[in-house]
Amino acid sequence: TQPQSAPDAELDGIFEKRLPPLSPLTSVYYKEKHSEILKFNAKEKSFQKIYIREIEDGGIFRRIRIEGSGKYRSKGNWVLLITENIDSEESVWKDGRQISSQKSSDLGSSSRKLLYHYDRGSDSVIPMIYDSGYGEKPFGVVDGTKNPHSEDDHFQISRRNYSRKEYQGHAYFKAK
């Protein structure tokens, strides 16, 4: 494994996943949109992660918002996000009136950590495993790595492949 030679990543601003809307071809009534952004503050070494999912099914509209915040640490191109609290809210609307609402908070009861890689060339960050709305799946860029924290050819190919996925997008790109 080669030592880390890049200067520590200083992330600032908004990074967003490029996610297409989801709507099954067999339904004329179902529409789904979702978005995920990461907001970094380099001065405070902090971040906010916001996931929004909106589902319209016939006359019923459902909105889910999950927002996490915490601190980040970086070593070269590697960025560790340490989530300190997560707030979630779900509301359901019918005919323009709210028919249900739920809120919950997880304030520091469990610290969540997820390792990301920053690429200066594409100005993007990508988690080592798939993560959407704080739901992690056991696959991702890590599948193409042989040595931890190595940026070898295997890693670069895996990162490039997962950065380009449209369905279950992995990478967050700097908002222009």
Q: Which residues, listed in sequence order, are joined to residue 117 by a DSSP beta bridge?
A: 78, 126
Per-domain residue ranges of the chain:
13-24+36-51+69-85+110-174
Amino acid at 107: L
Measured CA to CA, the distance from residue 7 to residue 64 in angstroms comes to: 37
Q: How far is CA 11 from CA 73, 97, 166, 169, in A?
A: 10, 40, 24, 20
pLDDT of amino acid 1: 45
Tens-place pLDDT, residues 97-154: 999 999 998 866 567 899 999 999 999 999 998 888 888 888 888 888 877 788 888 8
16-44 pLDDT per residue, tens: 998 877 777 677 788 889 899 999 999 99
List b or e across 157-174, with b for residues whose CB sees 16 or more CB atoms inside 10 angstroms: ebbeebbeeeeebbbbbb
